[in-house]
Amino acid sequence: MKTKDTPKQYVIYSRKSKFTGKGESIENQIELCRQYIAMHFGEDAAENVLVYEDEGFSGGNLERPQFKKMMKDSQKIAFAAIVVYRLDRISRNIGDFAKLIEDLGDRHIDFISIREQFDTSSPMGRAMMYIASVFSQLERENIAERIRDNMHELSKTGRWLGGTTPTGYASESLSSVTVDGKVKKACKLKPIPEEIQLVKTIFSVFMETGSLSKTDQYLLEHRCVTKRGKQFTRFAIRGILTNPVYMIADETAYQYLKENNVDLFAERSEFDGEHGVMAYNRTLQRPGKANQIRPMEEWIVAVGKHPGIIAGSDWVRVQAMLDVNKSKSYRRPRSNVALLSGLLRCGECGDYMRPKLTNRRNAEGELIYTYMCSTKERSHGTVCSMKNCNGNTLDAKIIEEIRKLSADKETLTRLLAQTKKVISGSKEGYDAELALLREKHAETEERIKRLVESLSVASDTSAKYVMEQIDELHQESETQQLRLAELEALTEQSRMIHQEFAFHQEMIESFASAVDSATLEEKRRLLRTIVKKVVWDGKNAYVYLFAEDGEADLPPVEQPMYLLGEDSECNRYMSNLKIIDNLRSAPGNRLPDNGRALHGCG
Number of H helices, E strands in the chain: 15, 20
In what helix (H) or strand (E) does residue 563 lie, and over which residues does it extend?
strand 558-563
The arithmetic mean of pLDDT across residues 448-477, rounded, is 78
| DSSP letter for each residue of 75-90 | TTS-EEEEEESSGGGT
Question: Which one of 24-28, 43-47, 143-147, 578-582 scores highest in mean pLDDT?
Answer: 43-47
Up-side HSE of residue 218: CA atoms within 13 Å toward CB? 17
Predicted pLDDT of residue 552: 26
Q: Record the pTM.
A: 0.47
The arithmetic mean of pLDDT across residues 278-285, rounded, is 81
Whole-angstrom Cα distance, residue 125 to residue 424?
68
Mean pLDDT over each residue of the chain, to the nearest integer: 75
The arithmetic mean of pLDDT across residues 355-381, rounded, is 85
Up-side HSE of residue 113: CA atoms within 13 Å toward CB? 17
Bridge partners (DSSP) listed for residue 361:
367
pLDDT confidence bin for 599, thresholds 50/70/90: very low
pLDDT for 184 beyond 70:
no
Q: What is the pLDDT of residues 335-365, one digit of tens each?
A: 567 888 888 889 888 888 989 888 888 887 8
Whole-angstrom Cα distance, residue 528 to residue 355?
17
pLDDT for 178 beyond 60:
no
The arithmetic mean of pLDDT across residues 528-545, rounded, is 82
| 327 or 209, which is more confident | 209
Residue type (1 letter), 230: K
Beta-carbon contacts of residue 21 (< 8 Å; ≥ 6 apart)? none
Predicted pLDDT of residue 319: 92
pLDDT confidence bin for 424, thresholds 50/70/90: low
Among the ranges given (122-136, 162-176, 521-535, 542-556), the one the predictor scored with the smallest mean pLDDT: 542-556
Q: What is the pLDDT of residues 233-271, one digit of tens each?
A: 888 999 999 999 999 999 999 999 999 988 888 889 999
The arithmetic mean of pLDDT across residues 183-210, rounded, is 88
The arithmetic mean of pLDDT across residues 488-494, rounded, is 68
Whole-angstrom Cα distance, residue 131 to residue 119?
13
